[in-house]
């Protein structure tokens, strides 16, 4: 990039008189600045992205026993119940009948959840790029009433590449399932770069 900047500083005043010629030279000069070849691929462990694949197990919605909150997100109140999103994992259901002694009743497993809202006893929550509607009016009989797959995707190729450039990443493998996101972590012997 430093060579590109020097190039433009050295353009003489006479080129600027001919604005069309200057614009053309500037365009090709800048284009060459940003089309640098990818770096060589390192051996061993590096910081990079790994794809997150959606499996049938991840896709299931299940009410399990209560557990500790790890990464609290949004909180909603429905009558005496408090719903706490544990980011990326699911929703804690807490009985708050006695605010001085809340009781964690259970955990609704929703892998990939980040945002939720409750309206008329229905929890609307994302599961990666899908939107779920879950009826929680009866905490003993929680039911998924709809699932809109990939409705939260903004583009057709959103998940094929990591969100940020300048990183190595594990090349996608279609045999492992559908990619629903990327996780920045330590990866070994990467063969892809963005």
At residue 12, what are phi and psi to the nearest 5 degrees? -75, 165
Name beta bridge partners: 125.
116, 132
| C-alpha neighbours within 13 Å on the C-beta side of residue 152 | 17
pLDDT tens for each residue of 124-168? 999 888 899 999 998 888 999 998 877 776 665 566 788 888 899
Tokens of 138: 């009866």
pLDDT at 2: 41
pLDDT at 32: 44
pTM above 0.75, yes or no: no
Q: If you search the block for the tokens 């629903």, which residue do you land on?
A: 180
Residue ranges in the chain modelled with pLDDT below 70:
1-38, 55-58, 153-159
pLDDT at 56: 59
């Amino acid at each position: 990039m430093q060579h590109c900047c020097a190039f433009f500083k050295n353009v003489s005043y006479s080129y600027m008189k001919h604005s069309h010629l200057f614009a053309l030279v500037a365009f090709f000069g800048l284009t060459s600045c940003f089309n640098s070849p990818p770096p060589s691929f390192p051996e061993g462990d590096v910081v990079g992205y790994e794809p997150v694949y959606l499996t049938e197990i991840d896709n299931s919605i299940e009410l399990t026993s209560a557990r500790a909150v790890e990464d609290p997100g949004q909180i909603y109140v429905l009558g005496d119940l408090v719903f706490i999103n544990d980011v990326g994992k699911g929703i804690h259901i807490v009985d708050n009948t006695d605010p001085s002694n809340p009781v964690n009743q259970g955990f609704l497993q929703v892998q990939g959840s980040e945002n939720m809202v409750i309206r008329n006893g229905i929890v609307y929550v994302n599961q990666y790029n899908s939107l779920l509607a879950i009826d929680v009016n009866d905490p003993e009989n929680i039911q998924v009433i709809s699932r809109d797959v990939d409705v939260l995707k903004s583009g057709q190729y959103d998940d094929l590449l990591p969100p940020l450039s300048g990183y190595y990443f594990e090349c996608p493998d279609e045999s492992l399932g559908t990619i629903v996101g990327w996780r920045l972590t330590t990866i070994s012997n990467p063969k892809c770069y963005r």
